[in-house]
Chains A and B, each alone.
Chain A
Amino acid sequence: MTVLMFGWEFPPHITGGLGTACFGLTKSLFLRGMDIIFVVPKLFGDENTEVARVVGADNVAVKIDSIKQFSQSINSKYIEINSKLVPYQTDEEYFRLANSSTVSVEGNVDENKYFSFSAGYGKDLYSEVERYAIVASQIARDFEFDIIHCHDWLTYKSGIEAKKISRKPLVVHVHATEIDRSGYNNINSLVFEIEKKGMDEADKIVCVSQYTKDILVKYYHQDASKIAVVHNGIDKEPLATKHAKVKKTAKLVTFLGRITHQKGPEYFVDAAAKILAKDRDVHFVMVGSGDLYNKMVEKVAEQGLADRFHFTGFLNQADVNKILSATDVYVMPSVSEPFGISALEALENDVPIVISKQTGVGEVVNNALKANFWDTDSIADSIYALLNYKTLKNTMVKECRRDLEHLSWEAAASKLENLYNQLLS
């Protein structure tokens, strides 16, 4: 069986859980004997190509004819949207913007055209999504495959295009929704529409948690029977083997993620303030970047916590690992978190976690300490207890790791395989 997958990230070029999940699934599907064609917008050249045939959309020769057909099918020449929406924004310079924002359909029918992609999450995102879909229509013509599987809204249009051309079943994999990212009062309706269209057109919807399934049913009006929950797995290789333990002197509490509304950074700062009022012997670190970065720095300064509260900006995996290995408590106060792989990574390294009740990962780790994201008293209580009550820390980590035993990418891939087989039979 050959699966045509559309993604946006593939290791080592990842910025969050999405890339990790795509790789984990791909690898395990490959080990189950499936062939994967993994399409990303742009090839950097150092992608892990052992487990999948990785195709860069920027390397695909697109026939002018395909472009014309695409334009006709969506009944418009080209859609260009200016938006400030940047769901996965990072402040990294390497996300340079694509250099062309309109698609030229001039030229001979036989002529080929290449598109360029930044493969980031910049302000040109919408036009990249459109271009990605055009290339997808060409890929659907060029390749042989049995099933189409696309990851998150950026690739849904591509999936729909590929389905239109190939008439193969389409699986959309929901790793996050606009509801999670922006809160349901604040959604970007264009993104929401793309997401809903993708789900409507899909033959099967896969999502990463029951929490997300509930959102899909409630806000996207999807039929619950069409949705399958496939929890993410975890790469069971502790940091200790990857990285030497960092020598440490102070207690360290860590927040790791994009500093955006979705991740609830302000609740972390509030909880830190409550702890520091009682115990100045604790350090807090916020790893990541995002649109609320400046606001958080200001908030920390206002509350006079700056000597105990540190910002690192965006860090690469090696540095993240270093910080994790020195961390005493990992906190994920997300407002809405479809899954939250990073919490599992912390646990795998014996770091106890405090997570909000609004996460998917809470469904698989019963023994994690959970609180509502807005309940900073409880979050602070949990952090304080984990820092001070050793038995609690040890017991919780031990019991959580037992919870994790059932969780693997293999199990996730096995569920996907069953699902593919059902769609093909």
Chain B
Amino acid sequence: MNAICLNFKVHQPYYYKKYHFFDIGVTHDYYDHSRNEEMIRRVSRSCYIPTNNMLLKLIERYGDKLSFSMTISGTTMEMLENYAPEVLKSFQTLVSTGSVELMSTPYYHSMAMVKSSDEFKCQVTQHQKKTKELFGVSCRNFANTDLIYADYLGIILSEMGFRGVVTEGAKYVLGWRSPNYVYSNPIARNLKILFRNQQLSDDISLRFSNSYWAGYPLTAEKFSDWLCRDPNHKCVTIAMDYKVIGYYMERSSGIFGFFENLPQTIFRNTDFKFLSPNTIFSHSDAVAPVYIPNEISWMSAERDISPWLGNELQKDFFRKLYRLEEAVKRINEPKILEDWRRLQSVDNLFDMNFRWLNEHQFDVDNPQSPYEAYINNMNILNDLEMRLQQIRFSRMVIRNKLKNTVEV
């Protein structure tokens, strides 16, 4: 069986407002609400709505021949609920066709697994609950934040009852092996792994609109030829950010036309089927285990976690953030817990990446320097710590008061 396995990452980060040092201990609202609303609307307009509509039409046309998977972060579901319920509805319609498999992922788009498996499990469970609540489905397979994965994560996932995981086909872990087979975790052998085909995925997500690229313009015909180029292609995993369609690559690039034509062309020219990860995991046995001792991801040239934990600022913030874990959980105030968890988003870590600074190029959606980002994050973290102390203190006062009353 030759399969093409599409996976779309749907994620929208929370933007923080400029949180000054003199705000510490004074105000506890960290978010840029209007920007969050504006961004989710903007992305909805250019990507979510038109792409959902397009995919819905394709599903109606091709029925069960066409299925794929989506990984929607919990924070995105929240924001859709709050700011764009009609867009949430369109996702729900899409999922209700039964052709879209929702993947499990950490609710807060975090990399908590690196620091705390307990916190990681909390966020995965929270995400499953939210998915069940909004979409009425349970996730059987997992796609981590930006496809981060390592052996130890596989073991945790297996313990949690997942069947399989999608991760990056990083060449340095695959070596001579092709990404286009089903593999397994070397210790938890029952956990199956699909590796993202870097080449073909990036042909769409990075190079599609690049007119200097030799493959330009990429057509559905060309893509289906490349798919069959390697006779050993069994199941090709194409994973990308959903926002590539319509947001990063505008309508004028022809990206919508490409996807509209893709199923038809592939069905006509090849024997590939569009299958969801769950179907693939059900029907294919793993060909071999793959050892992945250190975290891999789909980010940057290194395909590791250095984009988020590469410099001292990032490491310092990360360390200090998780140092609060015990206190946050002991105090157990929902608002504080939520603020702390939202801070864990890898977007916050990525803002402190130096690469942007040294290349004189800024994230258009977030034009601040890594130093500014660090200062903002640390100010917020300090405020969070102060809130924890205040609650701890006031509880202590009440406790002592009650004790005294009892004694009297």
Which chain A residue has the least Cβ–Cβ distance from B319? A391
A381 and B354: CB pair below 8 A?
no
Q: Is A274 an interface residue (CB 8 A)?
A: yes
Scoring A278, A370, A395, A396 by chain B CB atoms within 10 A of each residue's CB, the highest score goes to: A395
Find residues 373-406 in chain A having any chain B CB closer than 8 Å to their own CB. 377-378, 380-382, 384-385, 388-389, 391-392, 394-396, 399
Assembly CA distance A396 to B370 (angstroms): 10
Those of A103-152 within 8 Å (CB) of chain B = none
Give residues of chain B (41-55) contacting chain A, Cβ–Cβ below 8 Å: none
- Per the 8 Å Cβ criterion, residues 330-357 of B in contact with A are 354, 357
B21 pairs with A392, CB closer than 8 A: no
Residues 357-391 of chain B, each 1 if its beta carbon lies under 8 Å from chain A, else 0:
11010000000010110110011000000000000
Contact pattern, A 278-322, Cβ under 8 Å of B = 1, otherwise 0:
100000000000000000000000000000000000000000000
Asked whether A384 lies within 8 Å of B358 as measured between CB atoms, the reply is no
Partner of B316, one of A367, A369, A388, A391: A391
A380 touches B22 (CB 8 A): yes
Give the shortest distance, in Å, between B355 (CB) and chain A (any CB): 12
CB contact under 8 A between A277 and B22, given known A391-B316, A395-B313? yes
- A370–B369 touching, CB < 8 Å: yes
Q: Are B21 and A385 in contact (CB under 8 A)?
A: yes
A247-286 residues at the B interface, CB under 8 angstroms: 274-275, 277-278
**A100 sits at the interface (CB 8 A):** no
Whole-angstrom distance between the alpha carbons of A218 and B24 in the complex?
42
Question: Of A370, A380, A389, which contacts B378 at CB under 8 A?
Answer: A389
Cβ contacts under 8 Å, A380 to chain B: 20-22
Distance of A399 Cα from B375 Cα, bound (Å): 16
Contacts of B312 in A (CB 8 A): 391, 394-395
Residues in B with CB closer than 8 Å to A381 are: 20-21, 375, 379
Most chain-A CB neighbours within 10 Å: which of B20, B371, B374, B378? B371
Chain B nearest Cβ from A305, distance in angstroms: 15
Contact-residue size bin, chain A (C-beta under 8 Å from the other chain)? 20 to 34
Known: A370-B369, A395-B313. A389 touches B375 (CB 8 A): yes
Does any Cβ of A come within 8 Å of B97's Cβ? Answer: no
Residues in A whose Cβ lies below 8 Å from that of B360: 366
Give the interface size class of chain B: 20 to 34
Q: Which residues of B (308-326) have their CB < 8 Å from a CB of A?
A: 311-313, 316
Whether A395 contacts B357 by the Cβ 8 Å rule is no
Whole-angstrom CA separation of A380 from B371 in the bound complex: 14
Contacts of A278 in B (CB 8 A): 21-22, 24
Also in contact, A396 and B371, with CB within 8 A (given A385-B378, A389-B378, A391-B313): yes
Give min CB distance, B400 to chain A, whole Å: 30
Kindly provide the distance from the CB of A69 to the nearest chain B CB, expressed in whole angstroms.
Answer: 52
Q: Which residues of A from 211 to 225 have beta carbons under 8 Å from B?
A: none
Closest to A386 in B: B375
Hey, which chain B residues are within 8 Å of A277, CB to CB?
22
Interface centre among B20, B21, B22, B24 (most CB of A within 10 A): B21
B120 CB to closest chain A CB (Å) equals 25
Q: How far is the CA of A377 from the CA of B372 in the complex (A)?
A: 12
Q: Give the chain B neighbours of A382 by CB distance below 8 A.
A: 371, 375
Pick from A367, A385, A388: contact of B357, CB below 8 A.
Answer: A367
**Are A389 and B374 in contact, CB atoms less than 8 angstroms apart?**
yes
Q: Are A395 and B378 in contact (CB under 8 A)?
A: no
Is B20's CB under 8 angstroms from A377's CB? yes
| B316 contact set on A, CB distance < 8 A | 389, 391
A370 to B372 Cα, complex, angstroms: 9
Q: Which parts of A76-124 form the interface with B (CB within 8 Å)?
A: none
Are B371 and A367 within 8 A (Cβ)? yes
B358 near A366 with CB under 8 A, answer yes
Binding site for A on B (CB under 8 A): 18, 20-22, 24, 311-313, 316, 354, 357-358, 360, 369, 371-372, 374-375, 378-379
What are the 6 A-B residue pairs with the smallest beta carbon separation, nearest first? Answer: A391-B316, A384-B21, A385-B375, A395-B312, A389-B378, A278-B22
8 A–B contacts from the bound complex (CB under 8 Å): A369-B369, A380-B20, A381-B375, A382-B375, A385-B21, A388-B21, A392-B374, A395-B313
